[in-house]
Structure 1
Amino acid sequence: MQVNIALEPGVHRSAPALAIEARGLVKRFDGTLAVDGVDLAVPEGAIYGILGPNGAGKTTTLRMLLGIIDPDAGERRILGHSNPQDVARQIGYLPEERGLYPTMKAFEAIAFMGALRGLPLAEGRRRGRELMEQNGLGHAVERQIRQLSKGMAQQVQLLGTLVHSPRLVVLDEPFSGLDAINQGKLELLIRNLAANGATVIFSTHVIAHAERLCEGVAIIAGGKVPYAGSVDHARDRIPAQVRLETLNADGPWRAALPAQARREGNFWYFPLPDSGVEPLLRALIEGNAGIQSLSIERAGLHDAFVAIAGEAAARALNAEPETVQ
Structure 2
Amino acid sequence: MAASNVAAPLSSQRPLAIEARGLVKDFDGTRAVDGVDISVPEGAIYGILGPNGAGKTTTLRMLLGIIDPDAGVRRVFGHDRPHEIGRLIGYLPEERGLYPAMKSVEAIAFMGALRGLPLAEGRKRGLELLERHDLGYAAERQIRQLSKGMAQTVQLLGTLVHRPRLVVLDEPFSGLDAINQGKLEGLIRTLADDGVTVIFSTHVIHHAERLCEGVAIIAGGKVPYAGSVEAARDRIPAQVRLETRMREGAWTHALPEDARREGDFFYFSLPETGVEPLLKTLIEGEAGILSLSIERAGLHDAFVAIAGEAAARQLEADQAGGGA
In the alignment, which of 143, 148, 151 is matched to residue 150 of structure 1? 148
- Partner of residue 236, structure 2: 238
Please tell me whether residue 95 in structure 1 is matched to residue 93 in structure 2. yes
Q: Counterparts of 1:59 and 1:191 in 2: how far apart (Å)?
A: 22
Q: Aligned-pair RMSD on alpha carbons?
A: 1.3
1:104 to 102, 110, 125: 102
Deviation at 1:323, TM superposition (A): 4.3
Q: Deviations over 1:242-269 (max 9, x none)?
A: 0111112211111111221122110111
Please, which of 171, 174, 185 is the counterpart of residue 173 of structure 1? 171
Is 1:16–1:43's contact at 8 Å kept on the other side of the alignment?
Answer: yes
- The one-letter amino acid paired with 1:37 is G
Matching of residues 40-119 of structure 1 within 5 Å = 40-119=38-117
Q: Is the 8 A contact 1:243 1:270 kept in 2?
A: yes
Contact 1:246 1:293 in 2 (8 A): yes
Aligned to 1:38: 36
Structure 1 gaps, min length 5: 1-13
Alignment partner of 1:320: what SS?
Answer: helix
Structure 1 stretch displaced more, 250-259 or 60-69: 250-259
Cα distance in structure 1, aligned partners of 2:94 and 2:39: 22
TM-score (norm 1): 0.93
Mapped partners of 1:313, 1:261: distance in 2: 29
Equivalent pair of 1:127/1:163 in contact (CA under 8 Å): yes
Aligned twin of 2:189 = 191
1:240-259 equivalences under 5 Å are 240-259=238-257
The code of the aligned residue for 2:174 comes to S
Deviation digits for residues 179-213 of structure 1, max 9, x if unmatched?
11111111111111111111100001111111111
Select 2:217's aligned residue among 216, 219, 241.
Answer: 219
Which string of whole-angstrom CA distances, capped at 9 and with x for unpartnered residues, describes residues 115-159 of structure 1?
000000011111111111110112211111011111111111000
Find the residue that maps to 2:109 and give its secondary structure: helix
SS at match of 1:70: coil
Deviations 1:252-289 (A, max 9, x none): 11111122112211011110011211111011112222
Paired residues of 1:50 and 1:218 also in contact (CA < 8 A): yes
Verify: 1:272 aligned to 2:263, yes or no: no
Query: Is the CA contact (8 Å cut-off) linking 1:245 and 1:266 kept in structure 2?
Result: yes
Question: In the TM superposition, what are the counterparts of 1:119-130 in structure 2 within 5 Å?
Answer: 119-130=117-128
Distance 1:273 1:256 in 2: 11
Question: Helix, strand or coil: the match of 2:24?
Answer: strand
CA contact (8 A) 1:115 1:121 kept: yes
What SS class does the counterpart of residue 174 from structure 2 fall into?
A: coil
Matched AA of 2:123: R
Letter aligned with residue 75 of structure 1? V
Contact 1:178 1:323 in 2 (8 A): no
Among 191, 203, 206, the alignment partner of 2:204 is 206
Between the aligned residues of both structures, percent identity stands at 80
- Structure number with greater CO (CA < 8 Å, separation at least 6) is 2
Could you give the per-residue CA deviations for residues 20-65 of structure 1, whole angstroms, max 9, x where no partner exists?
0000000011101100000011111111110111011100000001
**Matched letter for residue 134 of structure 1:** R
User: TM-score with structure 2 length normalisation?
Assistant: 0.94
SS of structure 2 residue aligned to 1:209: helix
Structure 1 residue 15: Cα displacement: 2.2
1:6: which partner in 2? none
Query: 1:123 and 1:88 mapped to 2: Cα distance?
Result: 18
Partners of 1:144 and 1:245 lie apart in 2 by 61
Unpaired runs of 5+ in structure 2? 1-11
> Which position in structure 1 is the counterpart of 2:6?
none
Distance 1:136 1:311 in 2: 42
More displaced 10-residue stretch of structure 1: 172-181 or 29-38:
172-181
